Amino acid sequence: AQSVTQPDIHITVSEGASLELRCNYSYGATPYLFWYVQSPGQGLQLLLKYFSGDTLVQGIKGFEAEFKRSQSSFNLRKPSVHWSDAAEYFCAVGPYNFGNEKLTFGTGTRLTIIP
Amino acid sequence: DAGVIQSPRHEVTEMGQEVTLRCKPISGHDYLFWYRQTMMRGLELLIYFNNNVPIDDSGMPEDRFSAKMPNASFSTLKIQPSEPRDSAVYFCASSLIANTEAFFGQGTRLTVV
């Protein structure tokens, strides 16, 4: 069964500092990987996704993530955070094969930005 | 397209009452998902449909929960009778193809008192 682990429940970063949110997945084959962001009172919005090809993927709002198969990781990064990045971030994994279309989400990482 | 539309945004009901949550997916999307989000359990998939047909309802917590998708543009999630532990934010999401980007609605915050 597929699973996703986000080891950091809460991260605090100063505005302008760099950010890395960790995500580890468990899946027996090549997965689809996603990062979503949820602002307070809102639904989830896709930041970026990895299906195949270049292991460094670019997303919206200046975010990027790198797929590392050897480490089963898909960490999210941003070189300089803005106060508006404060939100909850979810990593998700989906199977490559059809017939099981469920995305599995991690428990999320809450990001706080301090001035 | 206006995105995935859920109604109501907020619902407060008394224990034992029937609650119906509604969702309009993005036009043309073949997959529709119902999720529940709580502090304790995070984001849980309850059920999903493909072309209006329920595919996997293994996440539905109890028989008190039921979901329907009578046509491609409408789905409901019903709880009858509701209980305080059903209090959560319920999200509907749709996607064009399996395992691709899911678009989420803004959610329905349900409070059962």
> In this predicted model, what pLDDT tens digit does every residue of A64-97 receive, in sequence order?
999 999 999 999 999 999 999 999 999 998 865 5
User: Best interface-test mutation with A: which of B7, B43, B50 has the largest number of A CBs within 10 A?
Assistant: B43
User: Chain-wide mean pLDDT for chain A?
Assistant: 91
**Predicted pLDDT of residue B2:** 80
Q: What are phi and psi of B25, to 5 degrees?
A: -75, 175
**Predicted pLDDT of residue A46:** 93
Residues A16-21, mean pLDDT to the nearest whole number: 98
**Predicted pLDDT of residue A96:** 55
Does A31 score more than 90 pLDDT? Answer: no
Distance CA B47, CA B34 (A): 5
Cβ <8 Å between B104 and A41: no
Q: Is A46 on the interface with B (CB under 8 A)?
A: yes
Residues A35-46, mean pLDDT to the nearest whole number: 92
Distance from CA of A10 to the nearest CA of B (A): 13
Which residues from chain B sit within 8 angstroms of residue A104, using beta carbons? 45
**Predicted pLDDT of residue A68:** 94
Q: Which parts of chain B register pLDDT below 70?
A: 1, 98-99
Residues A26-55, mean pLDDT to the nearest whole number: 89
Which residues from chain A sit within 8 angstroms of residue B98, using beta carbons? 98, 101
Buried/exposed code over A8-32 (b: 16+ C-beta within 10 A; e: otherwise) = eeeeebeeeeebebbbbbebeeebb
Count contacts between A and B (CB, < 8 Å). Answer: 52
**Predicted pLDDT of residue B110:** 98
Q: Is A98 on the interface with B (CB under 8 A)?
A: yes
Q: Are A94 and A32 in contact (CB under 8 A)?
A: yes
Most confident of A32-46, A96-110, B73-87: B73-87
Which residues from chain B sit within 8 angstroms of residue A40, using beta carbons? none
